[in-house]
Amino acid sequence: MFLCFALITLTGAVALTFQRNLVVAGLCLVLSFMGVAGLFLLLANPVAAALQIIVYSGAIVVLLLFVIMLLAEHQEEPAQRRRPLQRWGSVLVLLALAAGALRLVARSHVLRSLDSGPLPPAMNLDTLGAALFNDHLLAFEGVGLLLLAAMVGAVALVKRDL
Amino acid sequence: MNLAYSILSGGLPGYILVALLLFVIGLGAVLVRRSILVQFMGVELMLNAANVALLAFARFRGGDVQGTVFYLFIIAVAACEAAVGLALVVGLFRHRRTTDTDRADALKL
């Protein structure tokens, strides 16, 4: 089950990177987010999985696809000039990072020692709500203010004449 | 091998490996592609990789609720970033008629 969701996530991400059509790339992003939501379910965290689907696959991807449709540019423009050094340099860096990640996970004793223990019960909305409104009320209100500021800022940036 | 079994069956090393690879792929989308919209999607993938690692550690270190609270704040900030970022993309397209980052180089020396 874990392998299935992990493969969905990584396949969506790789397909996004190699996809020429921007709309299809956005749909690959949805696939990847759904895989991540499945991983959250396997981590016994249904609250996070629901939030992932509502906020990422719902709101953010819909906004992204809306902008792609609005700009009416579904294909990537042809390159002005080739940049082989930058392109292959970044591919090399990425391969090195991936190899480093594999090596890090394979050699880490801490990860393995954390792996073997009794697992806690699943997260539910009651404990999350209690923690959120008892311990983090100020941060919660701050996030509400931040969202308002982002909304006003987005409208001010897009609107032609205020 | 014990580690391979742990990764394939969904132990903590498996989640961390998926998170790291997801981060690398998102970074690849930012570095290799020229369209600013695909780069934006790559940034979202990197944020998701961080979330996977955060919630995996929260689960395997005793199921603390603070991990999920942090996840909630992270996606709120990600939503703000998406709104403002896409507004900037629309503004760029209005001024320069392009979404290609190589062509938006007016500040370059």
Q: Is the ipTM of this complex over 0.90?
A: no
B10 vs B60: CA distance, rounded Å: 11
Q: Which B-chain residues 1-30 have CB contacts (< 8 A) with chain A?
A: 2-3, 6-18, 20-22, 24-29
pLDDT in tens, A91-140: 899 999 989 988 888 887 777 777 766 777 778 888 888 888 998 899 99
Buried b (16+ CB within 10 A) or exposed e, A55-68: bbbeebbebbbebb
Q: What is the pLDDT of residue B1?
A: 53
Q: Which of B2, B75, B83 sits opposite A51 (nearest CB)?
A: B75
**Cβ contacts (< 8 Å) between A34 and chain B: which residues?**
none
Ordered domains of chain B (ranges, CATH): 2-96 (1.10.287.3510)
Phi, psi of A134 (to 5 degrees): -95, -45
A105 C-beta neighbours (distance < 10 Å), count: 23
A44 C-beta neighbours (distance < 10 Å), count: 17
**Cβ contacts (< 8 Å) between A91 and chain B: which residues?**
28, 32
- For residue A118, the 8-state DSSP code is P
Predicted TM-score (pTM) of this structure: 0.88
Q: Are B52 and B21 in contact (CB under 8 A)?
A: no
pLDDT in tens, B79-90: 999 999 999 988
Q: Does B74 touch chain A (CB under 8 A)?
A: no
Q: Does A146 touch chain B (CB under 8 A)?
A: yes
Question: Which H or E run contains A59?
Answer: none
Q: Which fold has domain A1-75?
A: Four Helix Bundle (Hemerythrin (Met), subunit A) (1.20.120)
CA-wise closest residue to B46 among A76, A136, A97: A97
**Cβ contacts (< 8 Å) between A123 and chain B: which residues?**
63, 65, 68
